Structure 1
C-alpha cells in the first residue's frame, strides 16, 4: 500500500501544481490586465482618452522616460534676475502631465502598474469635486501605504470612519479661536529669528549686510512653534524628531513614491530597513515626549494641543487596541509634517518673491506702520487688518503651493460633473497648473501680482473654486488657519525689521520632495531696515 501511495502521489501533485499555477496566472491576469482594461474601457466610453499602457507597468516607464528627457533638455538651474524667471515649474517637475495635457486635454486617463488614474484639471469639474462627500472620495490607498512610515494612520492618511473620528478630535483644535491663542508663541519664535539675523548682521564683514539661508532658519521657527504648541517644549528639545522626520521624508521621496515603475510597490531591502528603523526611532521619541508632557500637564489649567488631543482621543474612543498611543503618535507625525515643513516652505517662497519684488516690502512696511503705529509692535489681535500681507501670501500660495496635488481615490462609483468615476480609480489634480490657467486668471497668470487678491479670493479669478492651496472638499487642510496666521506673523516681523534681496548664490530650482520646495534653498542678503 505504501508503495502504491508513493507511486500515485506524484501523479496527484502534478495536476494540483498546474491548477495552482493556472489559478495564480488567472489572478494576476485579472489584477494587472483585465480589471484595468475594464476601467479604461468604461472611461473611454465617456470620451476620456489617454496614453496607451504597457502590461504590468502601465505608463510608469513612459513617465520616467519623459522625466529623463526633460532633465536632459534642462541646461542646469537658473538664477533670478529681475523678471527673468517665469514661475511656471510644472513642465520641469511633472513633464508627463504637461505633455499629456497638451495631447489629450484637461481630463485624461493613464495607469501605473495595475492602478488606473484620472487626471482632472478642468476648472468646472474640479469645482464639482468639492461637492463630493468623504465616503465617495478618499486618499489613494497605494500612495498612503507608501507614506505610512511618515504619517502612520493619522488624519492625513486615513479614510472612512477612522478619518471621520480623527477629524472630530483634531479639527476643533485648529479652529480660529484656538489658533489665535497660539499667535503669541508664533510671535515669540519669529522675534527670536529676527534677533538671530540681527546678530548675523553685526558679525558680518562691515556689520551692515549678512547672507543667510532663509529656509533653514524658517524650519527652525515653524518647528519651534509646533513643539511649543504640542509639547510646551522648544525646537532644541524636539530637534531630534524634526531632523529624523526630514531624513525620512527624503528617503520616501527617493523611492519615486508617486509613480514608481515597480508594479508591486517594492523597495530595495536596504532602503526599507532604513525607513523602518527611522520610523521606530521617531515614534519612540514622540511617545516619550508625550508621556513626559502628560505628567507636566496634570497640574496645569491651560492644556496644550497634545494634551487636548489626548483627552479627545480617550473620550471619543479613537484608535485601535493600541490607542491612545497609536492615535497620538500618528497624529503628532501628521501635525509635525504639515504644520512644520509645509509652513516653512511656504514662508521661504514668500521671502524669495518679496526679495525679488522690493516694492511689496515697502507696501507691507507702510501697512504695518498704519496698523501698529510708529513703534511697530505687532498685536496678534490686529493681524486681520493686514490686507497687503494677506494679498502677498495668497499670491505666493497661488504660484508656489507647497502641495502639488489634490489626490483622491473613488471609494465607490462616483458622479463628478458629467463623469462617472469607477470605484478604485485614483484622481489627480495638479494644483500649480490650475493656478496658472490663462482662461481663469488672465494674461498675467505667470507674474507675481498680489493686487489680483485686493478684493478677496472670490474676485481674483473667474472660477475661485480652483484656488486650492489647501486642497478642496471635505478634506480641506485642517491646519489652514494655523498656517495663514503663522505666515502673516513671520512675514510681518521680518519685513518690519529688514530689507532683503536675493543673494547671487540663489539658484531657482523648485524640487518635489513630497512638497514643492526650493531645491537649493533660499539665500538672502539682509540688512536692517532704516526707519
Structure 2
C-alpha cells in the first residue's frame, strides 16, 4: 500500500514538474513574441515619431500588411489601359498613397518589421555619404534571396562583404576592362550575324526580334568569358541554370519579407534545391579545372591575363600567401574549413553571374525600346558612331577612351537608366544605430529608397521628368537635376555597384555595333508594361522591328 502511494505521489510530482516546465517554456515564448512583435517595433517607431516621422498606424501582428493588400487590390481593379498609363505607380501603389498622406519620408510596418521610406532628396544625399558598415543589406531580403545569391557580395554584411568588395572591385577597374573589350565586341558581332540570318530568312529587310532574350544571350556570353575565360562554355550552362533559379524565386515577393515555407519538400522547393546543386557542381568543376591550370602556369612561369575566377581561387584555395591579396590573407583567417571555401567560391560566382548579366541585358533592352520610340536619337547616335569609329565594320576598332568620350551615347544611356533602371529600389538595414543627416535611425530599422520615384520626381528633374529627354544630361549628371546625388542607377553609399564601369562599357560597345548595323522601330506586338520582380523588365517581352542598314 505504501509502495502504491509512493508511485501515486511521484506521478503527481512528475505531472507538476511537466506543467511547471510547460509554463516556463510558454512564458519564455510569450516574452520572446512580446519582445519581437511589440517591444522592439514600438521602440523603433517611438524614436522615429519623436523626430516628426509619421506613417499609417500598424496592427499588432500584421503591421500594415492588410492596408497594403487593400490598396493594391484597389489599383488592380482599375482598367488595364489605366494601369498601362500609370505603370510607375502600379509597382507599389501604397507607397505613392502614403507619400501623399505623410510626406516624402514616412514609416510603415510589415508584420514586426519597421520600414523607413526615404523620398527626401536631401536625406538621400546623406545616405549616399554614409560609409559605415553598420548600414547593410536587410536580413529579411537576404534570407529570401539565399538560394540565388548564397553568401555572395549582395547578401553578406560586415567583414565578409568588405573582403568580397575589395576582391571583386579591382577586377572591374578600367585598366582590367581594356583586356575584355575584344570578347565584348566578338560576343556582340555573333548576335549581329544571327540577326542578319533571321532577317535574310524572313525574306525581306526587316524582321521582328524579341530583343530582351537576345540581349541576355550577349551579356551572358560576356560575363561567362570575364569570369571563366577559356571555360566559358561551361559558364553558359551555369548561367542558364541561374536564370531558371531566378525565375523561380521571382514568383516570390521579397521586398516586404513575407514568410515562405522554404524548408518543406514542395515541388517548387525541390526544383530550387536541384538547380542549386547542379549550379554548385558546375562551378566547382570549372574551379577545379582553373586550379589545375593555375598550378601548371605557376610551375612553368607562364604569365597571362587573369579572369575573375582565377583571382578568386588565388585568394581562397591557394596555399601560397604571396599570391593572395591583403584581403585574401584576412579571409584565410576567417575561413577554417574547406567546405566554407568552396561555398564562398560558388556564392561569389553566382552573384557575379546574376548581377553581371541580367541588369546589363535589361539596360540594353530599355535603351533600344526608347530609341525605337524616338528614332531621331538613332540618327544622332549613328552620326556620332561613324565619326568616332569610321572603320566600325573592322574587328578590333574599339578604344575605351574614345568610347567614353561619346557624349550623345552617354546622354541616351543615362536618360534610359533614369527612366528604366533595372534596380528600382535600394534597401538598407541599420545593423546598429546610425545617423542620417540630423535623423537618428535606430538599430533594426529597414530603410527603403524607391529609386524609380526619385528618378521621376518633378521637384528634382523638372516638369518633364516623365519624358525621355537625353539632352538633360548634356552638361553631365551634375547639371541634369536640382539634386545630382538623387541620380542612383547603380545604387547608393558604400554598396554602389562595383561593376558599373564593366556594365556601361559592354552596353556602349553593344549599342555602337547594333546601331551601326541595324535600325529599330516599334512592333505592333509590343505592349508597354514595365514589371518588377528582382529587376525591372518588360512583362510581355520586347519585340521590335529590326531592319538591316
TM-score by length of 1: 0.94
- Which residue of structure 1 aligns with residue 209 of structure 2? 212
1:398 to 411, 418, 423: 418
Q: Give the Cα separation in 2 of the matches to 1:136 and 1:185.
A: 39
Q: Give the Cα separation in 2 of the matches to 1:75 and 1:384.
A: 41
| TM-fit CA distance, 1:374 | 5.6
2:45 to 40, 45, 60: 40
- Which residue of structure 2 aligns with residue 452 of structure 1? 472
Ranges in structure 1 where 5+ consecutive residues have no aligned partner: 79-84
Contact 1:134-1:160 at 8 Å conserved across structures = no
| TM-fit CA distance, 1:173 | 0.6
What is the root-mean-square deviation of aligned Cα atoms in Å? 1.9
- Which residue of structure 1 aligns with residue 320 of structure 2? none
| TM-fit CA distance, 1:497 | 0.4
- Which residue of structure 1 aligns with residue 370 of structure 2? 353
2:100 to 99, 102, 107: 102
Q: Give the Cα separation in 2 of the matches to 1:76 and 1:286.
A: 45
1:494 to 514, 521, 525: 514
Q: Please give the residue correspondences for 1:20-419 in structure 2 after superposition, counting only pairs within 5 Å.
A: 20-75=25-80, 89-205=87-203, 207-233=204-230, 237-262=234-259, 269-270=265-266, 271-297=268-294, 298-299=296-297, 301-302=303-304, 303-314=306-317, 315=324, 316-317=328-329, 318=331, 320=335, 321=337, 322-373=339-390, 377=394, 378-381=397-400, 382-419=402-439
| TM-fit CA distance, 1:290 | 2.0
Q: Give the Cα separation in 2 of the matches to 1:116 and 1:5.
A: 50
Contact 1:506-1:522 at 8 Å conserved across structures = yes
* 284-293 vs 124-133, greater mean Cα deviation: 284-293
Contact 1:364-1:389 at 8 Å conserved across structures = yes
Q: Give the Cα separation in 2 of the matches to 1:418 and 1:523.
A: 48
* 238-247 vs 341-350, greater mean Cα deviation: 238-247
Q: Secondary structure at the match of 1:524?
A: strand
In the TM superposition, what whole-angstrom CA distance separates every residue of 1:266-313 from its partner, at most 9, and x where no partner exists?
A: 676413333222222211121112222333454352222210222133
Q: Give the Cα separation in 1 of the matches to 2:196 and 2:521.
A: 16
In the TM superposition, what whole-angstrom CA distance separates every residue of 1:429-453 from its partner, at most 9, and x where no partner exists?
A: 0001111111111111100011111
Q: Give the Cα separation in 1 of the matches to 2:205 and 2:232.
A: 29
Does the alignment pair 1:19 with 2:36?
no
Q: Give the Cα separation in 2 of the matches to 1:438 and 1:142.
A: 32
2:526 to 506, 509, 524: 506
Q: Secondary structure at the match of 2:471?
A: helix
| TM-fit CA distance, 1:217 | 0.8
Q: CA, structure 1 residues 266+295, in 2 after alignment: closer, same or farther (shift >3 Å)?
A: closer
| Stretches of 4+ aligned residues off by more than 6 angstroms | none
In the TM superposition, what whole-angstrom CA distance separates every residue of 1:193-219 from its partner, at most 9, and x where no partner exists?
A: 1111111111003x2111111011110
**Between Structure 1 and Structure 2, how many residues are aligned?**
520
Q: CA, structure 1 residues 402+373, in 2 after alignment: closer, same or farther (shift >3 Å)?
A: same
* 49-58 vs 287-296, greater mean Cα deviation: 287-296
| TM-fit CA distance, 1:100 | 0.9
Q: Secondary structure at the match of 2:456?
A: coil
Q: CA, structure 1 residues 492+296, in 2 after alignment: closer, same or farther (shift >3 Å)?
A: same
In the TM superposition, what whole-angstrom CA distance separates every residue of 1:142-200 from its partner, at most 9, and x where no partner exists?
A: 11111111111111111011111111211111111111221111111111111111111
| TM-fit CA distance, 1:38 | 1.6
Contact 2:152-2:351 at 8 Å conserved across structures = yes
In the TM superposition, what whole-angstrom CA distance separates every residue of 1:292-339 from its partner, at most 9, and x where no partner exists?
A: 233345435222221022213352142632343222111111110011
- Which residue of structure 2 aligns with residue 470 of structure 1? 490
Q: Give the Cα separation in 2 of the matches to 1:97 and 1:267.
A: 31
In the TM superposition, what whole-angstrom CA distance separates every residue of 1:78-101 from its partner, at most 9, and x where no partner exists?
A: 8xxxxxx86x63301111111111
Greater C-alpha Rg: 2
In the TM superposition, what whole-angstrom CA distance separates every residue of 1:451-495 from its partner, at most 9, and x where no partner exists?
A: 111111111111100101001111110010010001101111111
Ranges in structure 2 where 5+ consecutive residues have no aligned partner: 1-5, 318-323
Contact 2:227-2:308 at 8 Å conserved across structures = yes
Does the alignment pair 1:435 with 2:476?
no
| TM-fit CA distance, 1:355 | 0.8
- Which residue of structure 1 aligns with residue 321 of structure 2? none
In the TM superposition, what whole-angstrom CA distance separates every residue of 1:239-263 from its partner, at most 9, and x where no partner exists?
A: 332222122212222221222544x
Q: Secondary structure at the match of 2:152?
A: coil
Q: Give the Cα separation in 2 of the matches to 1:474 and 1:163.
A: 11
Q: Secondary structure at the match of 2:77?
A: helix
Q: Secondary structure at the match of 2:313?
A: helix
Contact 2:181-2:398 at 8 Å conserved across structures = no
Q: Secondary structure at the match of 2:72?
A: helix
Contact 1:287-1:329 at 8 Å conserved across structures = yes
